[in-house]
Amino acid sequence: MTNVIFEELARDEGFHCHETDYSGGAWEVAPHWHYYIEMVYIKSGKAQAYVNDEMYLLNEGDFVFIDSLMIHSFFGESDWNTRIVVVKFNKQLILPSSQFSEPLFLQLMAADHRLFRFGLHFQRQETNGSDIAGLFPRLAAEIAQTRFGYELAIRTMIGQLFLWVIREREEQYEKLSGLFRDTEPFYKPIQRMMEHIAAHYQEPLDARKAAKMCNMSYSYFSRKFKLVAGRTFSEHLNLIRIMEAEKLLIGSDLSVTDIAMQAGYANTSYFIKQFQRVRSISPMQYRKKLLRGSAADAPANRPAR
């Protein structure tokens, strides 16, 4: 039995792109999986891809979309003269930065999203006549040239690629008179839990209790929450509490101890430690810095005329 490899982006990378020339002979990429999204574009030649036990023959101009947790591998023959462009990016790169992601984005992050019911293989003829056809070559050029601002260019193009993919598959879905619409989306229980956290962050709550509320095992809930929310349950709860504490630090005269209690922390020293870890500054320093900035921005008092 072939071992399946887990692959991870470096911690400081939100994306990674590279171009590889396999024209020198037969080649193979062993079965592997990861938490990030990957798109593989065939710049020239062809390749065989296996994604979740489905086989795809990719020709020049085709690309394959690989979501989180999907086991996949590639190979090519020596006379296929294959050259590929690989784009990898974390989901946080395209998720909204707000406390709650737009439901569409949450659903798109789910492994059972309808996007994947129509296949992961996008053929060249699907992209003809659209701007998407030139994006992968432009990505490859940005990678090769590394001109000033190339990272921003790559991030922008990744967003364009992802937007094209979800709109293309969404149009196909809408043509199918309500197929699959009776099934609750994968993300819904997690979205409800995120809403519960927003309303009850002051109350004692941990991942095990949350898992029971969602009728899931602790391990399954933990994996699912991270997949949908992009962070662990405890990280998300802590972030919501810190955000609420920030509002009180700026908009009230409450002591740090009172703010800790109102934000849901039972221990003041633990609150200070968590605040400093998230914001790299203590609560009191944060308050002084923000209030000092507000005072500096206020108009100077003027004598009455």
Q: What pLDDT, on a 0 to 100 scale, did the predictor assign at position 213?
A: 93
Cβ-based neighbours of 119, under 8 Å, separated by 6 or more:
54
Give me the amino acid identity at 189.
P
Q: What pLDDT, on a 0 to 100 scale, did the predictor assign at position 303?
A: 46
Q: What pLDDT, on a 0 to 100 scale, did the predictor assign at position 227?
A: 74
Q: What pLDDT, on a 0 to 100 scale, did the predictor assign at position 177?
A: 40
| Alpha carbons 128 and 119: distance in angstroms, whole number | 18
**Coil, helix or strand for 242?**
helix
Distance from the Cα of residue 189 to its chain's centroid = 18
Q: What pLDDT, on a 0 to 100 scale, did the predictor assign at position 228?
A: 73
Choose among 232, 243, 256, 247: nearest CA to 201. Answer: 243
Assigned CATH for 5-174: 2.60.120.280
Q: What pLDDT, on a 0 to 100 scale, did the predictor assign at position 100?
A: 44
| Alpha carbons 294 and 280: distance in angstroms, whole number | 20
Choose among 118, 136, 115, 116: nearest CA to 127. Answer: 136
Give me the amino acid identity at 153.
A
Cβ-based neighbours of 38, under 8 Å, separated by 6 or more:
65, 66, 72, 86, 87, 88
**Could you tell me the residue ranges of all domains in the chain?**
5-174, 188-294
Mean pLDDT by 10 residues, the chain (305 residues): 57 70 89 84 91 86 83 90 87 55 49 53 78 79 83 84 76 52 68 90 93 91 81 90 90 93 94 91 88 54 44
**Helical H runs in 123-232?**
124-127, 135-145, 150-174, 188-200, 207-213, 218-229
The verdict on domain 188-294 having CATH code 1.10.10.60 is yes
- Is 78 within 8 Å of 120 (Cβ atoms)? no
Q: Which helix (H) or strand (E) holds 85?
A: strand 83-89
